[in-house]
Amino acid sequence: MRPCSRALLSGSSALLLALMTSLLGACGSHSQLDASPAAERSSSTASVAATTTPTTPAAFAAPDEASIPNDGFGKSIKLGRDIFMHTGQYAKAYVGNPLNCASCHMDAGRLANSGPLWGAYDMYPAYRSKNGHVNSFAERLQGCFMYSMNGKAPPLGDDVLVALESYAYWMSRGVPLGKEMPGRGYPKLAKPAQTADFARGEQVFQRSCALCHGADGQGQQAAGSYVFPPLWGPQSFNWGAGMHELDKAAGFIKANMPLGRGNSLSDQDAWDVAYFMSARKTRVTTAMWSRRGRNITTRRHRCTASK
Amino acid sequence: MKPIATALSESERAALANYYAALPVPAATPAAATVDASAAVLASRGRWSQGLPACVQCHAADGGGVGEHFPPLIGQSAIYLANQLRAWKTGTRHNDPLGLMQGVAAQLSEADIDAVTAWYAAQPMAAPSKESKP
């Protein structure tokens, strides 16, 4: 029986370092991407070029968006991409918070060490200990809506799931089936030298995170829509999300935060602030779910916290 | 600007800032320059092969900015925007919190700077925001 899939979790620290080194020294490969709605009026043939990492040949290059065909299948791929980037707009019926998939799966799900789709799609179907059975990729996506988006599962076969799967499939062509690709998921950090600590984490948060996510962790909005997402509370991901797990959060934060300054925090800081964020969330979520009387699936919460 | 700014007292600077911030924003006359499609892409998607985030990720989808620390990019002249990017790139401006803009500017070529600043300068302004500070 296939072991439990950690499809969005594993990664290689060495590869991460190599990736970041290549990013810092990369020559300017001109990358054209499909523009957001505001910019689409002015762009005609702009498209996403392959995301190349010159000095890390093992890293997968997500394809140029110009390769999305101009047919019915392409329409589904593009819808999947739009859902990914503007989830509340294109999958409104299923979301319960203002996050987008792209909030934590950066560069529209293309970026290594940020939970890229090309690192996950090829690993399904897979047995998951989370729910004790073999999950299709579509069922995996349902979990994203229930937990990360604090919403509800689109029914299997729904256009939303088909579109997301189309997008993931298109992006993953060329990835060998079942291969654990370098850069998949978030990097696994070594356990911190000091046990993750709430007070230290709060300091890291105020210093490095509050600028964007707000001192209260509730994000920031402009003209009625979120620019920086909330990190805890009813407007953020819930207890079932991968981001609520300490090791995943620490790995994501280390590689990707602050935005554009990935790999600038120490491992210790990443663990501490991940714990802080997770602890803030637990307090709120426990209270919310108790009031609702929901049936919470028990999960072991491996907590390295001192509090 | 330096002699002028130096001659102002702290309270005068604050008063002038508040005064100008309260003025109605004139309708922008977008530049007639041809719009560069790649600039639109840079602004909205960034260039993650170099770890470069999109402008919209911090300055909002319409370029209108957010909060106190992420100013609007629309309604600014291309020259002004380009000067700031170059200043961050060379280190002559370094008051950006967390060094975010220095990191961004370091990834921008001269052609990128010209293109993306021209693109933002050509964007239409929305109606004046009700949230603008008095």
**Do A172 and A256 fall into the same domain?**
no
- Whether residue A33 and residue B126 make contact (CB cut-off 8 A), yes or no, is no
**Do A108 and A156 fall into the same domain?**
yes
Least confident of A9-23, A105-119, A198-212: A9-23
- Residue B126 DSSP symbol: P
- Residue listed under structure tokens 């925090």: A265
Q: What does the pLDDT read at residue A126?
A: 98
Q: In this complex, which of A106, A110, A222 lies closest to B66 when CB atoms are compared? A: A222
Q: In this complex, which of B49, B103, B119 lies closest to A51 when CB atoms are compared? A: B49
Q: What does the pLDDT read at residue A26?
A: 41
What domain range is A207 assigned to? 189-307
pLDDT one-digit tens code per residue, B5-15: 899 999 999 99
- Whether residue B66 and residue A261 make contact (CB cut-off 8 A), yes or no, is no
pLDDT one-digit tens code per residue, A68-121: 999 999 999 999 999 999 999 999 999 999 999 999 999 999 999 999 999 999
**Do A124 and A220 fall into the same domain?**
no
pLDDT, greater one: A245 or A42:
A245
**Do A149 and A20 fall into the same domain?**
yes
- Whether residue A42 and residue B119 make contact (CB cut-off 8 A), yes or no, is yes
Q: In this complex, which of B37, B70, B98 lies closest to A43 when CB atoms are compared? A: B37
Q: How far is B78 from chain A (nearest CA, A)?
A: 17
pLDDT, greater one: B29 or B49:
B49
| A226 SS3 class | strand
**Do A196 and A255 fall into the same domain?**
yes
- Residue listed under structure tokens 């911030």: B21
Neighbours of B129 (CB within 10 A): 14
The CATH homologous superfamily for domain B35-121 is Cytochrome c-like domain (1.10.760.10)
Question: What confidence tier does B124 reach under pLDDT thresholds 50, 70, 90?
Answer: confident
Residue B69 touches partner A, C-beta closer than 8 Å: yes
Q: In this complex, which of A30, A32, A107 lies closest to B48 when CB atoms are compared? A: A107
Query: What is the reported pTM?
Result: 0.80
Alpha-carbon distances of A268 from A143, A188, A191, A241, rounded to whole Å:
30, 13, 9, 22
Domain end, chosen from A185, A213, A239, is at A185
- CATH number of the domain where residue A100 is located: 1.10.760.10
**Do A275 and A294 fall into the same domain?**
yes
A190, two tokens: 């070594």
- Whether residue B64 and residue A222 make contact (CB cut-off 8 A), yes or no, is yes
The dihedral through the CA atoms of A283, A284, A290, A291 has a sign that is positive
If one counts the domains in chain A, the total is 2
Question: What confidence tier does A6 reach under pLDDT thresholds 50, 70, 90?
Answer: very low
pLDDT one-digit tens code per residue, A22-72: 444 444 344 446 665 444 444 444 556 655 444 444 679 999 999 999 999
Q: How far is A208 from chain B (nearest CA, A)?
A: 7
Cβ-Cβ contacts under 8 Å, A108 against chain B: 45
> Residues A117, A167: contact at Cβ < 8 Å?
yes
Least confident of A137-141, A219-223, A225-229, B30-34: B30-34
| A130 SS3 class | coil
Burial class (CB in 10 A: 0-12, 13-18, 19+), A307: exposed
- Whether residue B50 and residue A32 make contact (CB cut-off 8 A), yes or no, is no
- Whether residue A108 and residue B49 make contact (CB cut-off 8 A), yes or no, is no
Domain end, chosen from A185, A213, A246, is at A185
Q: In this complex, which of B37, B48, B49 lies closest to A45 when CB atoms are compared? A: B37
Give the list of residues 6+ apart from residue A83 with CB closer than 8 angstroms, or none.
Answer: A90, A91, A101, A160, A163, A164, A167
Cβ-Cβ contacts under 8 Å, B57 against chain A: 227, 259
**Do A247 and A178 fall into the same domain?**
no
Residue B133: pLDDT above 80?
no
Q: What does the pLDDT read at residue B134?
A: 45
Residue A233: pLDDT above 70?
yes
**Do A114 and A38 fall into the same domain?**
yes
Question: What confidence tier does B37 reach under pLDDT thresholds 50, 70, 90?
Answer: confident
Q: What average pLDDT does the segment A235-257 reach?
A: 97
Spans of all domains in chain B: 35-121
Cβ-Cβ contacts under 8 Å, B107 against chain A: 28
- Whether residue B57 and residue A259 make contact (CB cut-off 8 A), yes or no, is yes
Residue B25 touches partner A, C-beta closer than 8 Å: no
Q: In this complex, which of B38, B48, B98 lies closest to A30 when CB atoms are compared? A: B38
Element (H, E) at A135: strand A133-135
Chain A, nearest residue to B105 by Cα: A260
Q: What does the pLDDT read at residue A8?
A: 42
Least confident of A189-203, A277-291, B81-95: A277-291
Residue B56: pLDDT above 60?
yes
Q: In this complex, which of B35, B43, B100 lies closest to A260 when CB atoms are compared? A: B100
- Residue A228 DSSP symbol: E
**Do A43 and A115 fall into the same domain?**
yes
Residue A195: pLDDT above 60?
yes
Q: What does the pLDDT read at residue A268?
A: 98
Cβ-Cβ contacts under 8 Å, A32 against chain B: 37-38, 41
Which candidate in B34, B50, B89, B101 is best for mutational testing of the A interface (most A CBs within 10 A)? Answer: B50
Question: What confidence tier does B32 reach under pLDDT thresholds 50, 70, 90?
Answer: low
**Do A98 and A135 fall into the same domain?**
yes
Domain end, chosen from A155, A185, A215, is at A185
Q: How far is A112 from chain B (nearest CA, A)?
A: 10
Cα(B42)–Cα(A31) distance, integer angstroms: 8
Q: What does the pLDDT read at residue A245?
A: 96
- Whether residue B51 and residue A262 make contact (CB cut-off 8 A), yes or no, is yes
Least confident of A165-174, A273-282, B47-56, B93-102: A273-282
Q: What does the pLDDT read at residue B2?
A: 86
Q: What does the pLDDT read at residue A266?
A: 98
Cβ-Cβ contacts under 8 Å, A106 against chain B: 48
Q: What does the pLDDT read at residue A287?
A: 52
**Do A207 and A136 fall into the same domain?**
no
Which candidate in A36, A82, A89 is best for mutational testing of the B interface (most B CBs within 10 A)? Answer: A36
CA angle, A180 as apex, A14 and A5 as ends, to 5°?
Answer: 115
pLDDT, greater one: B46 or A299:
B46
